[in-house]
């Protein structure tokens, strides 16, 4: 016992060092700044990469700016907020099915191809008895956002169930954990959602595919391309690509995909190249109600991205509050509020844990002098 007491001061010093280290690692016990969700599940706080100027403030609930060449996320607002994606989900559809369906494959449309297209869907005009190539149908998807073309391709792929499973598998493989697929075309459906971050993953992967890149940047085409009595011209509905409805075309725009539904509002994924640098912007649900807000806000973010990209210091590191993706739950509200609240709750729990650890460390430090004093008294006590 005497031998243990003799060594005890050394042990005590180790304990003191450990407590001090824990207190330093945990940081101050005071309040920690965190993004506070609004009633619609979003926050106004913007994250930017180190070394860059402040990103412009736009009205969209969620958005990202990415340097495609380096993979750097330059700026974001609520990048993991789960929202209805509208037709921007067709980027995932194309990513999953383009490798499965050769463009030259011919198909004569039948009633079953389009029988389950939701009423009110955007259509390119697939007609029963008309012969199309798979390439025709992809142009119908990208230019006219035709849900009838999407459903026809899904049947050619082996049916709806196989198509949805392939889309979800593709999303999971890319690490797009904010995405739950319920339709192939992005039409409003309970339990279906994605995020600006995930849509940027789909676009980045898609731009590596020459077919995807060609289709998403096509401004106009004949549908079907072979001509004939049933053919007609179609134009890309991405106003930033073609320049229409009062929107000036963006220089160097590659394209990608726009969308709109009553629940999602306007959504847009755009990419442009300038001086051998490609910037990708994803915008979801602008709160500005003017007709071209989604395009003009994308323009602002693209401009900022080209200016900011050379100054970004570290890939994937953002300055400001983060919103890490939660694991996907099919029952989660696809409007995103539930996910945002869960994230906030998780942050609060994490902060509480850190504060408790700090309190224990401080308590240990406070007790050390009393322990040392007790040990000295014990060692100085006369032996009997």
Catalytic residues: 87, 90, 145
Give backbone dihedrals phi and psi of 144, rounded to 5 degrees, phi first: -100, 0
Residues in Cβ contact with 322 at an 8 Å cutoff, skipping those fewer than 6 apart: 47
8 A C-beta contact, residue 224 and residue 230: yes
8 A C-beta contact, residue 167 and residue 98: no
3-state DSSP assignment of residue 277: strand
Residues in Cβ contact with 227 at an 8 Å cutoff, skipping those fewer than 6 apart: none
Cis peptide, bond prior to residue 340, ω within 30 of zero:
no
Which H or E run includes 75? strand 72-77
Q: Name beta bridge partners: 222.
A: 233
Q: Name beta bridge partners: 72.
A: 67
Residues in Cβ contact with 30 at an 8 Å cutoff, skipping those fewer than 6 apart: none
Contacts 24+ apart (CB under 8 A), 204-210: 204/66, 204/68, 204/71, 204/280, 205/95, 205/174, 206/91, 206/94, 206/95, 206/256, 207/68, 207/254, 207/256, 207/271, 207/278, 207/280, 209/95, 209/98, 209/99
* CA gap 263, 192 in Å, rounded: 11
Closest CA to 334 of 131, 231, 183, 233: 183
* CA gap 106, 341 in Å, rounded: 48
Which H or E run includes 240? helix 239-242
Contacts 24+ apart (CB under 8 A), 314-317: 314/49, 314/50, 314/72, 315/70, 315/71, 315/72, 315/73, 316/71, 316/72, 316/73, 317/49, 317/50
* CA gap 1, 365 in Å, rounded: 25
């Amino acid at each position: 016992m005497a031998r243990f007491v003799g060594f005890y001061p050394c042990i005590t010093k180790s304990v003191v060092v450990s407590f001090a280290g824990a207190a330093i690692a945990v940081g101050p016990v005071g309040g920690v700044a965190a993004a506070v969700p609004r009633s619609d599940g979003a926050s106004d706080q913007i994250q930017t990469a180190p070394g860059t100027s402040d990103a412009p403030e736009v009205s969209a609930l969620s958005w990202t700016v990415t340097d495609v060449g380096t993979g750097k996320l330059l700026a974001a607002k609520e990048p993991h907020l789960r929202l209805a994606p509208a037709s921007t989900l067709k980027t995932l559809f194309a990513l999953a099915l383009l490798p499965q369906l050769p463009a030259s494959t011919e198909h004569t449309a039948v009633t079953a191809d389009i029988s389950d297209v939701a009423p009110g869907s955007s259509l390119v005009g697939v007609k029963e008895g008309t012969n199309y190539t798979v390439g025709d149908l992809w142009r119908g998807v990208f230019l006219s956002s035709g849900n009838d073309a999407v459903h026809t391709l899904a049947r050619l792929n082996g049916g709806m169930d196989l198509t949805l499973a392939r889309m979800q598998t593709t999303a999971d493989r890319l690490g797009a954990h904010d995405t739950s697929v319920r339709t192939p075309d992005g039409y409003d459906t309970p339990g279906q959602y994605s995020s600006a971050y995930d849509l940027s993953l789909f676009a980045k992967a898609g731009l590596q595919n020459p077919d995807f890149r060609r289709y998403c940047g096509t401004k106009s085409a004949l549908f079907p391309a072979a001509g004939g009595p049933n053919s007609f011209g179609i134009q890309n509905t991405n106003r930033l690509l073609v320049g229409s409805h009062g929107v000036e075309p963006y220089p160097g725009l590659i394209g990608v995909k726009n969308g709109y539904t009553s629940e999602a509002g306007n959504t847009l994924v755009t990419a442009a190249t300038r001086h051998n640098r490609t910037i990708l912007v994803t915008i979801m649900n602008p709160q500005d109600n003017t007709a071209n807000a989604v395009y003009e806000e994308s323009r602002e973010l693209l401009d900022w991205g080209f200016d900011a990209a050379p100054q970004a210091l570290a890939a994937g590191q953002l300055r400001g509050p983060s919103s890490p993706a939660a694991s996907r739950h099919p029952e989660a509200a696809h409007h995103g509020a539930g996910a945002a609240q869960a994230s906030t709750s998780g942050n609060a729990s994490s902060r509480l844990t850190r504060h408790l650890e700090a309190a224990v460390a401080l308590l240990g430090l406070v007790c050390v002098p009393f322990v040392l004093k007790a040990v000295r008294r014990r060692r100085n006590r006369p032996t009997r």
